[in-house]
Structure 1
Amino acid sequence: MEAFYIRKYGGPAVLEHGRLPTPALGPRDVRIRVHAASVNPLDWRIREGQLKVLLPYRFPLVLGNDCSGVLIEVGQEVSRFRAGDLVYTRVEKDRIGTFSTEVVADETTVARKPDALSHVEAASLPLVLLTAAQFLTEAAALKPGQSVLIHAGAGAVGSVAIQLAKHLGLRVVSTASSGNIKFVKGLGADTVIDRKAQRFEREVRNMDAVLDSVGMSNLLRSFQCVKPGGTVVSIADGPDVSLARALNVNRLLWPVFWAMGARPHAAAGRVGAQYRYWFMRADGPQLESLNPMLESGVVRPLVDSVFPFDQARQAIARAEEGKARGKVVIQMRDD
């Protein structure tokens, strides 16, 4: 198969383009002919080795965490799918590799592609849609009428989380650059704070929950915005011991995670809030349960740009510069 992969951790220069053997198919696996894959911050964090303690990958490692495509083979014990099905997926964290012409995934991570969406549109969604859904309904466990501050509202996760939050009946405040304020309001945000012209922690108070995808400084300031008993969730900086435990990290490394999560946990304690670091899980049935919202247009895929497969490096660079509205997608085949 043709793929973009790394043989060592590092910057953009370590990404190689070539042919690798196709992965073996297990009895509960499906083989997907990839039509499109999206770029996520997780991709360059993995490339740089930022997550090697959490996710000890072997080389060569094909990058890419979600995709849309067509099933071309199913394992003997697969019951939900058959060859020819159109699917999309956020593959398992320890079996990534969607920046390729084929990928193998456990059937439990795969969902049927919504008929109303193209492969490019569908590929833009699995990781960010599951992240948003799990944040709102599990990590923060929000109920209709409550409030949420979603940082980086024009970004990949933020743009989907705002739409889903409004559908769930929440009051939404978001942050964005001045050029994206109108765009973010159009997604449904009730209030948008200009992140450069205003200090959001001076403008926003008594929120039930906060989602931070920006980084430690932004995360720590966010505790000034949440009410006592509220929840601040990070999907960027601040992994903690609870995450290490959930991912079965060697106990000898737990002190490292305690140190990384110490500052946000201390900030939470000072205001009587809760802090959680959320590493989303791949979940095909949950993803498929969200299809009706995509079919009806309640949640719209937001694609910033599409790059052909041979320009995967440029696609990653576009996403990594942090100026994309929504997702950057790599297209392997036409729909």
Structure 2
Amino acid sequence: MKKVMYNQFGDESVLEVVEQPVPAIENDQLLIRVKAVSINPLDWKVYGGEMKLMSGSTFPKSLGIDFSGVVEQTGSAITRFKVGDAVMGLLDVFKGGALAEYIAVKETDIALKPVNSSFEEAAALPLTGLSALQIIDQLAVVGPNQDVLINGATGGIGIFAVQIAKKRGARVTAVVSTKGVAEAQKWGADTVVDYTKQPIRQLNQQFDAVIDLSTRLSFSEAKRLMKQKAIFVSTLPSPVALISSFINNIFSGQKRKILIVKPTAEGLTTLTKLAEADLQIVLDKTYPLSNVRGAYQEARRGNILGKSVIVLD
């Protein structure tokens, strides 16, 4: 089978499509024939070596976190899924391995694919959808009548964060580029700020939660946008950020939280139900596996609306 691997940290040139044996499964595993895999910013931070404290420095390494596909084989202990089921799921965020024609997973790694979503759309949902759920419900604890600022609202997480925050009854201000204004309005944002015309640092309002998905707004800069008791959430985990947030949160009413995604089967099932109801999934581009380097080069340049996906069929 074909699989994307790399033998050193670097840019997209280190990524190789190689031949590997189809993985054998244990009794508590399923073999998935992968149909699509989404591209995430965490991918290039890992293969670029920025996250080596979390990912380790042992090679070769694999790529790809969230995926969709079809159950090809089940171990004897599997009870929730059967051969032929269309599923979506995600692997360890720092180890990856989804960019392969076949992968071995556990039941807790997957959920049934939303019936109204394509395989490409389903692959774009697990990591960013779970991230949005955890940010809105667990880190920012968004509730009715709260004022929430989402910076980077048209990226993979932002699309879902806007919609879920609105479902929780919040007043949402979405910060986007010009091409994302109409989309953010469509997702339900109460106020949409085009950062090319009005820099976020010049906003004359304070919020109960400031969620930075752009990775460009620091906590010190965000403080002026926060109420006296408010929460700042960022998506860039690092040892320094984790330590400084711990110390800050002891002494300050303005709390700093950092997302470290914790995949759960329950969370994935919740996403399936939300997508089957009315949660919108937005795809930017799809690419064949043979163009994996070009796909990541384009994604890293940014200016993407939603998620880009690599198709393995």
TM-score (structure 1 length as normaliser): 0.87
Residue type matched to 2:96 in 1? I
Query: 1:19-57: CA deviations, max 9, x gaps?
Result: 123334232221110001110001111111111101226
What's the counterpart of residue 255 of structure 2?
A: 274
What's the counterpart of residue 313 of structure 1?
A: 293
1:293 counterpart = 2:268: no
Residue type matched to 2:15 in 1? L
What's the counterpart of residue 104 of structure 1?
A: 104
What are the residue-to-residue correspondences of 1:178-257 with 2, within 5 Å? 178-215=178-215, 217-236=217-236, 239=238, 257=239
> 1:141 aligns to what SS in structure 2?
coil
Rounded Cα–Cα distance in structure 2 between residues aligned with 1:179 and 1:315: 21
**Cα distance, 1:183–1:267 mapped onto 2, change above 3 Å:** farther
Give the superposition deviation at 1:261: 4.4
Rounded Cα–Cα distance in structure 2 between residues aligned with 1:201 and 1:95: 36
Rounded Cα–Cα distance in structure 1 between residues aligned with 2:180 and 2:47: 29
Q: How many residues align?
A: 313
CA contact (8 A) 1:91 1:110 kept: no
**Cα distance, 1:217–1:160 mapped onto 2, change above 3 Å:** closer
What's the counterpart of residue 244 of structure 1?
A: none
What are the residue-to-residue correspondences of 1:10-49 with 2, within 5 Å? 10-49=10-49
Rounded Cα–Cα distance in structure 1 between residues aligned with 2:197 and 2:243: 30
Query: 1:222-270: CA deviations, max 9, x gaps?
Result: 222121221111112x53xxxxxxxxxxxxxxxxx2x344666677788
Rounded Cα–Cα distance in structure 2 between residues aligned with 1:129 and 1:46: 20
Give the superposition deviation at 1:219: 4.1
Residue type matched to 1:215 in 2? T
Rounded Cα–Cα distance in structure 1 between residues aligned with 2:303 and 2:248: 29
Residue type matched to 1:306 in 2? T
Q: Any gaps of 5 or more consecutive residues in structure 1?
A: 240-256
The answer to which of 43-52 and 285-294 deviates more is: 285-294
**Cα distance, 1:206–1:217 mapped onto 2, change above 3 Å:** closer
CA contact (8 A) 1:110 1:285 kept: no
Rounded Cα–Cα distance in structure 2 between residues aligned with 1:163 and 1:58: 39
What's the counterpart of residue 265 of structure 2?
A: 284
Residue type matched to 1:67 in 2? F
Give the superposition deviation at 1:220: 3.2
Identical aligned pairs, as a percentage? 30
CA contact (8 A) 2:10 2:47 kept: yes
Residue type matched to 1:318 in 2? E
Residue type matched to 2:286 in 1? V
> 1:290 aligns to what SS in structure 2?
helix
Residue type matched to 2:30 in 1? V
> 1:196 aligns to what SS in structure 2?
coil
What's the counterpart of residue 326 of structure 1?
A: 306
Q: Any gaps of 5 or more consecutive residues in structure 2?
A: none
The answer to which of 209-218 and 310-319 deviates more is: 209-218
Query: 1:297-330: CA deviations, max 9, x gaps?
Result: 2x11100011112112222122111111000011
1:165 counterpart = 2:165: yes
Give the superposition deviation at 1:218: 4.1
> 2:37 aligns to what SS in structure 1?
strand
What's the counterpart of residue 137 of structure 1?
A: 137
Rounded Cα–Cα distance in structure 2 between residues aligned with 1:199 and 1:44: 27
> 2:224 aligns to what SS in structure 1?
coil
Give the superposition deviation at 1:127: 0.4
> 2:53 aligns to what SS in structure 1?
coil
CA contact (8 A) 1:90 1:283 kept: no
Rounded Cα–Cα distance in structure 1 between residues aligned with 2:84 and 2:95: 22
Give the superposition deviation at 1:67: 0.5
Give the superposition deviation at 1:284: 2.2
The answer to which of 67-76 and 197-206 deviates more is: 197-206
| Correspondent of 1:303 among 283, 286, 310 | 283
**Cα distance, 1:189–1:43 mapped onto 2, change above 3 Å:** same
> 1:77 aligns to what SS in structure 2?
coil
Rounded Cα–Cα distance in structure 2 between residues aligned with 1:52 and 1:15: 17
Pairwise CA RMSD? 2.1
TM-score (structure 2 length as normaliser): 0.93
Residue type matched to 2:190 in 1? D
1:64 counterpart = 2:64: yes
